[in-house]
Structure 1
């Protein structure tokens, strides 16, 4: 099934992905991982929540760590262009029979809370508290030196349907994996901000969050993080990489936080701002699809993910599998 034509005039204007709330079972352990090891900056914290931002970000937070009895994902957040877009977004979701309510969020203006058709919790806003720039305060850089949040990747039980719905919201496909036997899309990468993706969908038990990614300055920052994790008690948290993706061309590393939430460290993808940019097709069995150098991903990368609060995952009917490491 071919990917849909780009929707260049969506009903409301999403600028980019913005933030994620991770519900964690040990806030202190999560703080040690995200702050002391990865190098995210604390913007506010108390006994139950920690707000974090990366070095180039002016918004108050890109991650909220929330103490909880169960580790899962509370919400994925997106920034809209202007206030009228919030009302247009509300109309969009209500017209499809999906929930839409106005909620209060600390450090954010008017915020719309909803879910996509498969239960992924989403929120949209225009204004977030702005903080002073810190990107030139080099004394603050540590860990992997994360510059900004880059994308979300979600497991989907029906990638074609997920792509169609997010295409309706204006996300444009940059690359996709097709199962040659069925003609169905097995995975797809979609953007708003002009990189390879703000969201991606991978076939599997879904919905679940596969990973959140952070952009870093160079591949050498990833090597530094590996050395740091290997000598500070986190060697078992290194899941996959380093490597070079075929899809997106990105240099990558996948690590797991203390609750198992997957984080990708990411750099070196390419610009996609042209509205007539053609999507790149990959065959599911192409060994260079996962890693340009040919190394397959481990089984955990295809099977494990974070549950979304309040969403019940379903098995995918598409049973095709890529090459998996033994």
Structure 2
């Protein structure tokens, strides 16, 4: 199935991905990992929540750690709209698609629409978030991998074609995709709003589940520094895959797991996709350079492990196509 033609004039305007709320067992343990190892900055904290941002971000938070009886699950994924009126248009669009909608109160955010996509991923949209002073040149605060900004989400979908069609309708554009030649179906797809390779990506598998959340860093050397730090501070077993360079997106990458099993990608070196007539790049599922430009296959865990969304039951994919897996 070919990717759909982009919808350049959607009913509402999403600027970019914004934040995720991750459920954790031990707030102190998770705070240490995200601040001392990753290097995110604390915007605020309570007995039940820690709000974090990366060094380039002016918005109040891009990660919320929430103490929960359901650790290792994801509460919600957030997106920013262009203006306030887009929120009302988004409500109408999601209602027309048969998705539940409600207005919710969120700390440090303005009016916020809570809804879900076609496979049940909980989404929230807002326009206003509290703005904080810039930390970008506060170099004394930099630590860990020195993350500059949140970059993208990747989720397991039991029907990637359906997920792509849904997000295409609301203005996300495909940059690269993997097709299973035998069935003609999509195995994975990368979709953007902000002009990079992706804000949201989908990988075939049992879902919905979050595959990973990614942060942009300045250089590949930041990733090497993180590996040395994790290897000497008790986190060597949290290193899952990499470092390497993806064929898809050209990104230099590392995948790690936080204390509750949420997968995090550290990421740099992709490319701009601003032009509205940018043509998506097609990859074959069996191409060994798709996963890693240098030919190294991904481990089995990378195709199987994901974190569920709170109170959303995942289901198996009907597409049984098999990628290349490391022995």
Q: CA deviation at 1:272?
A: 0.2
Q: CA deviation at 1:159?
A: 0.1
Whole-Å separation in 1 of the counterparts to 2:35 and 2:143:
9
Superposition RMSD in Å: 0.4
Matches within 5 A, 1:117-266: 117-266=118-267
Matches within 5 A, 1:55-66: 55-66=55-66
Matches within 5 A, 1:1-326: 1-71=1-71, 72-326=73-327
Structure 1 residue runs of 4 or more that deviate by more than 2 Å after TM superposition: none
Q: CA deviation at 1:66?
A: 0.2
Any idea what the Cα deviations from partners look like across 1:199-231, whole Å, max 9, x if unmatched? 000000000000000000000000000000000
Any idea what the Cα deviations from partners look like across 1:5-38, whole Å, max 9, x if unmatched? 0110001000000000000011111111101110
| Residue pair 2:7, 2:173 contacting (<8 A) in 1 also | yes
| Residue pair 1:255, 1:262 contacting (<8 A) in 2 also | yes
Q: CA deviation at 1:117?
A: 1.7
Whole-Å separation in 2 of the counterparts to 1:49 and 1:137:
25
Once the two structures are overlaid, the 10-residue window that deviates more, 26-35 or 203-212, is 26-35
Any idea what the Cα deviations from partners look like across 1:176-210, whole Å, max 9, x if unmatched? 00001001000000000000000000000000000
Whole-Å separation in 2 of the counterparts to 1:122 and 1:63:
14
* Superposition TM-score, scaled by structure 2 size: 0.99
Whole-Å separation in 1 of the counterparts to 2:187 and 2:119:
17
Whole-Å separation in 1 of the counterparts to 2:222 and 2:153:
21
Q: CA deviation at 1:97?
A: 1.5
| Residue pair 1:119, 1:310 contacting (<8 A) in 2 also | no
Whole-Å separation in 2 of the counterparts to 1:268 and 1:231:
26
Whole-Å separation in 2 of the counterparts to 1:140 and 1:114:
36
Whole-Å separation in 2 of the counterparts to 1:110 and 1:139:
35
Q: CA deviation at 1:84?
A: 0.7
* Superposition TM-score, scaled by structure 1 size: 1.00
Give the unaligned 5+ runs of structure 2: none
Give the unaligned 5+ runs of structure 1: none
Whole-Å separation in 1 of the counterparts to 2:194 and 2:322:
30
SS at match of 1:314: coil
Whole-Å separation in 2 of the counterparts to 1:296 and 1:33:
28
Alignment coverage as a number of residue pairs: 326
Whole-Å separation in 2 of the counterparts to 1:33 and 1:321:
34
Any idea what the Cα deviations from partners look like across 1:145-171, whole Å, max 9, x if unmatched? 000000000000000000000000100
Whole-Å separation in 1 of the counterparts to 2:161 and 2:116:
18
Whole-Å separation in 2 of the counterparts to 1:184 and 1:37:
39
